[in-house]
Amino acid sequence: MSKLPLWLRIAGNSAASLILGFLVLPILAVVPASFNKASFIYLPPRAYSGVWYERFLEDVEWRTSLLNSLQVATLATVVAVILGTLAAIGLRRLEGRWRAGITALFLAPMIVPVVVTAVALYRSALDVGLSGSILGMSLGHMILALPFVVINVGIALRGVDENWIKAASGLGAGPWTVFRTITLPNITPGIVGGAVFSFITSFDEVVVAVFLAGYSNKTLPVKIWESIRLEFTPVIAVAATMMIVLAIVLFLVAQLVSSRREISTQ
């Protein structure tokens, strides 16, 4: 890089900054927008206040939708992590030909258009009485989140040496002890990564949620989507800011876990 002429470096860095700004600034704009004092979104705000945060927390509908989202995302994540981890372990034991085919099936929810999945889930949820329920939305999101867990844990499992397993069982450990003491500690970063992706996938998911949310069980993204069609108040920016903050925090957690893992294997 340092061999490039100065002007080219300046040009390159400027272009990179512009692209980054183009990508990030519209998202970050919601943060100052949420601190507007007026009941309309001005950018930059003419006067700052936290009044819309108060409004958000006082309003039962907003509060409930946030809690719904947290509930749905937590449940979806827990189920996706358990099933996805088991699936990744199972896939690793399969022989090559079968592994490729069945992996493709597990990753399908990433490729199938979400609206197709949503329609299919909507129809099925009606049949089993899960339509409009938190559980129904959680399971729908779990399906979307599953590929992230399968991929992340699958990659982590590649780092688990078959001989560690053999050594542990030779030393007297049963299959469950081997999993708990050898496999699990070595795939934890993959599981945490998969969990973070699962949580975020569910937390900002709107298509499946629109189809499955009942009148009283709206998630935060659904509530934002509905509100924005009625009124354009800074409370929407407040909700969006909360989602951004949560996403950032979760990614930091994931980074922290994987960097601690790297230090310990050096």
Partner 1 sequence: MKNAGLPLRLEGVSKRYGTYTALTPTDLSVAAGEFLTLLGPSGSGKTTLLNLIAGYLEPTSGRIEIGSRDVTGLPARQRNIGMVFQSYALFPHMTVGQNIGYGLAVRGVPKAESARRVAEVLSLMQLEGYANRPIQKMSGGQQQRVALARALIIEPDVLLMDEPLSALDKQLRRAVQLELRRLHQEHGRTTIYVTHDQEEALVLSDRIAVMDRGRIQQLGSVDEIYDRPANAFVAGFIGESNLLPAKVNDMAGGKATAEVEAFRRTMVVQAAAGVEPGQTARLLLRPEHLLFNKTDDGVPAEIVETVYLGELSQYSLALESGHVLTARQITDRSLRKGMKVTLSWDPIHARVVPEN
The contact set with partner 1 (CB under 8 A) reads 161, 163-164, 166-174, 177, 181-182, 185-186, 264-266
Shortest distance, position 26 Cβ to partner 1, whole Å = 42
* CA-wise closest residue to 38 among 53, 27, 24, 48: 48
Residue 178 or 208 with smaller CB distance to partner 1: 178
Phi, psi for 161 (deg, rounded to 5):
-70, 130
Q: How far apart are CA 45 and CA 176, in angstroms?
A: 58
Residue 152 or 201 with smaller CB distance to partner 1: 152
Residue 49 or 181 with smaller CB distance to partner 1: 181
Residue 105 or 171 with smaller CB distance to partner 1: 171
* CA-wise closest residue to 236 among 221, 255, 216: 221
Residue 39 or 177 with smaller CB distance to partner 1: 177
The token pair that represents 4 in the structure block: 């490039």
Structural contact between residues 238 and 34, judged by C-beta atoms closer than 8 angstroms: yes
Residues in the chain: 266
Residue 163 or 216 with smaller CB distance to partner 1: 163
Shortest distance, position 264 Cβ to partner 1, whole Å = 7
What one-letter code names the amino acid at 9?
A: R
Shortest distance, position 240 Cβ to partner 1, whole Å = 40
> In what helix (H) or strand (E) does residue 77 lie, and over which residues does it extend?
helix 60-93
Q: Could you tell me the maximum CA-CA distance found in the chain, to the nearest angstrom?
A: 71
Shortest distance, position 189 Cβ to partner 1, whole Å = 11
Q: How far apart are CA 18 and CA 14, in angstroms?
A: 6
Q: How far apart are CA 89 and CA 102, in angstroms?
A: 13
Structural contact between residues 177 and 142, judged by C-beta atoms closer than 8 angstroms: no
Shortest distance, position 195 Cβ to partner 1, whole Å = 19
Shortest distance, position 249 Cβ to partner 1, whole Å = 26
